[in-house]
């Protein structure tokens, strides 16, 4: 008899415990905790988990996440977290990634510019313009773990949060947070954001290929907030389908977006200015696809993020829908032929 394995992803959108936050943490917990419980996840990948100083000058810890998980099954799960730009194994103040697992984590690593060096670029519209090119670094690392499953096998889980399309900073080109001095300056900032997002996706793709090099039949899942739809460059890079590579023998290294198993009307995780978009994804290898049963997108309560930011005072929700994919695993006795 098989047993289910449920793997989920959820962008919590700036989960924080600071006293200066516009929305009290308890109000957010009241909304977010039921969403986490509904997932019934065995492996849960989270994005945008903020961290607070543990002591003066000490490392940051995710107090808000700890409080959110209190009294839930996830409280006792194994945990791996990261997000620091300097040391990717340390927590940053905002936008950390976290992987929670019911099962043992055999290995864990944080990947940022290990497989792809930061490209060098000299901004054309920067004022003053730098004399030479400068490195364009990713905002966040990628988290990758190997998890020991009850069937005696391992699964590779890659949690990522790619750069948003919001234009990146260009020196001397901003009047305020959302106002640019020139159209050219905004366009160059938009280009830099796209460069960062594509670069992160490339590094994640190289990480996937590295796993396949050592384990051709690897069970891999890459999931999180891609800030891109399935037809856009970052997702296509990660999927690496034969229609793009042009080589049939590479089909085994392609990743499959699980939302394809759902009707198109259900394929959305975000609503932006009335437009439904699928920005969060669960991509799996062919070996893991063999046990795939179904994907759930809990988007019944997702509101329009643009309207929400403009009109809702002290918003408690996340404007991303959580996703959970269920797979069937072979129980240990069956695997042993008993």
- The structural domain count of the chain equals 1
Ordered DSSP codes for 8-23: EEEEEEEE---TT-SS
Q: What's the CA gap between 122 and 124, in Å, rounded?
A: 6
The three-point CA angle 146-147-148 to 5° equals 125
Query: What are φ and ψ of residue 224, in 5° steps?
Result: 145, -160
Beta strand segments in 169-258, E: 174-176, 179-180, 220-225, 256-257
* pLDDT of the residue at 336: 40
Dump pLDDT digits (tens) for 264-317: 999 999 999 999 999 999 999 999 999 999 999 999 999 999 888 777 888 899
For residues 5 and 234, what is the distance between their CA atoms, to the nearest angstrom?
A: 27
328: how many CB neighbours lie within 10 A of its CB?
Answer: 15
Confidence at residue 95, expressed as pLDDT on a 0 to 100 scale: 95
Give the contacts of 68 (CB within 8 A, at least 6 positions apart): 12, 15, 25, 28, 29, 32, 33, 36
Residue 337's pLDDT is 42
Mean pLDDT (whole number) for 159-169: 97
Q: Using the predicted structure, report yes or no on whether residue 335 has a pLDDT greater than 70.
A: no
Helix (H, G, I), strand (E, B) or coil at 88: coil
Q: What are the DSSP calls for 99-139, one per residue? A: EEESS-EEEEEEESSSSSPPPEE--SS-SSPPSS-EE---S
pLDDT of residue 58: 79
Give me the CATH number covering residue 146. Answer: 3.60.10.10
pLDDT of 90 above 90: no
Residue 318: which domain range?
2-335
Average pLDDT estimate for 34-56: 94
**pLDDT score recorded for residue 106:** 98
Place of tokens 């969403």: 35
- pLDDT in the model for residue 309: 78
Token pair listed for 10 = 């959820």
User: What's the confidence (pLDDT) of residue 20?
Assistant: 65
Its pTM stands at 0.95
């Amino acid at each position: 008899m098989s047993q289910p394995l449920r793997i989920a992803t959820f962008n919590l959108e700036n989960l924080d415990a600071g006293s200066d936050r516009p929305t009290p943490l308890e109000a957010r917990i009241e909304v977010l905790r039921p969403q986490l419980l509904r997932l019934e996840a065995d492996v849960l990948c989270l994005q945008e988990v903020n961290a607070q100083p543990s002591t003066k000058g000490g490392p940051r810890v995710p107090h808000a996440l700890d409080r959110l998980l209190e009294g839930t099954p996830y409280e006792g799960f194994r945990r791996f977290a990261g997000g620091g730009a300097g040391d990717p194994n340390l927590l940053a103040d905002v936008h950390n990634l976290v992987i929670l697992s019911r099962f043992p984590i055999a290995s864990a690593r944080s990947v940022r510019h290990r497989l792809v060096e930061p490209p060098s670029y000299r901004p054309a519209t920067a004022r003053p313009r730098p004399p030479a090119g400068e490195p364009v670094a990713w905002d966040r690392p990628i988290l990758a773990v190997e998890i020991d499953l009850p069937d005696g096998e391992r699964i590779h889980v890659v949690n990522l949060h790619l750069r948003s399309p919001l234009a990146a900073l260009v020196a001397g080109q901003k009047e305020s947070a959302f106002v640019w001095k020139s159209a050219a300056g905004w366009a160059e900032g938009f280009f830099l954001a796209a460069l960062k997002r594509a670069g992160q996706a490339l590094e994640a793709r190289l990480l996937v290929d590295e796993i396949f090099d050592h384990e051709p039949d690897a069970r891999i899942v890459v999931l999180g907030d891609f800030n891109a739809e399935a037809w856009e460059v970052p997702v296509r890079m990660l999927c690496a389908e034969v229609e793009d590579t042009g080589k049939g023998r590479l089909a085994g290294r392609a990743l499959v977006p699980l939302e394809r198993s759902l009707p198109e009307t259900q394929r959305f995780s975000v609503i932006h200015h009335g437009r439904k978009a699928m920005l969060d994804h669960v991509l799996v290898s062919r070996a893991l696809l063999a046990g795939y049963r179904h994907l759930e997108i809990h988007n019944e309560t997702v509101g329009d993020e643009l309207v929400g930011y403009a009109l809702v005072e002290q918003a408690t929700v996340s404007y991303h829908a959580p996703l959970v994919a269920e797979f069937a695993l072979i129980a240990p006795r069956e695997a042993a032929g008993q």
